Structure 1
């Protein structure tokens, strides 16, 4: 059985490497055909976006900035991310509260909130930098699970979806946060006798 898998693997590698120029040409033709088809197709949506529906992939540097903010949050080094924010910022939190004010006040508030959380570990599921073409605004959408452990050892987990807007200088100036707490698991069924 092992010999069959080995043979199949060699056959696959040989087929992939047999004519690299032809493969590149076919890939380029396919990409060109797909792109032109997408641009020619007109779609009618049942809704009109209030903000924008014309997005493209944005600057990856904004995603890098945001991920460093997350790392500093996890490491309880909130002063480190001060320069990632604009002079004036607005944040809408998942609990319904909001912050609107200067960067120094934001960093001070973040430091106090973070100090009460104990250890924090974010498991980042995905992120995508975006640019709204018709608004000329840059955003990063991120999905993560944040697990915090307080001084008594109690763990709290939450799934977060956040959308962060960046100004033209690459500074964060607006955040929307959405949260879902993982469901509580029901107790195990009683053992059969």
Structure 2
């Protein structure tokens, strides 16, 4: 028996949801599985299967099951056991290949906005007594609440990675080819030195 390949849980998830498209394939199988090999599928079912990368006989609308790697199915099942927000963060990150943005975006100054009757947004402008514009009030962004939310989202995502490694470790015989490791992603990246190579104070 060949040794399993160690792989960081983040990379395993990207493989599961980008390469294998496990969620789409499994959902398509559950929603569109015909009762017999000659059954025709609805246009909606065909579209779902095509998005999942499932082989179809377009002329007859016949479903041809696609082989999903068993490890991808196990990983997807483990993800389904996570709390809803954690599951959402995990799947979105895996599909896009991008980690949650814990910075809440670049530091900037933004004007106050007001909504016109048409729904259009315009910056608030202050005028002097002669109705000459003198300033546009601005505020720093991200706000404290935006920073807090961004860090909460990162922490939720990271906790999901840790929990998945633990779940899959409890099922050692379920994965055929891979051995999840990590996560390599830091738990609190905002506590690391701001610049690469910069030593933290007191080091």
TM range (shorter): under 0.3
Higher relative contact order by CA 8 Å / sep ≥ 6: 1 or 2?
2
Decide which structure has greater strand share.
1
**TM-score, normalised via structure 2 length:** 0.21
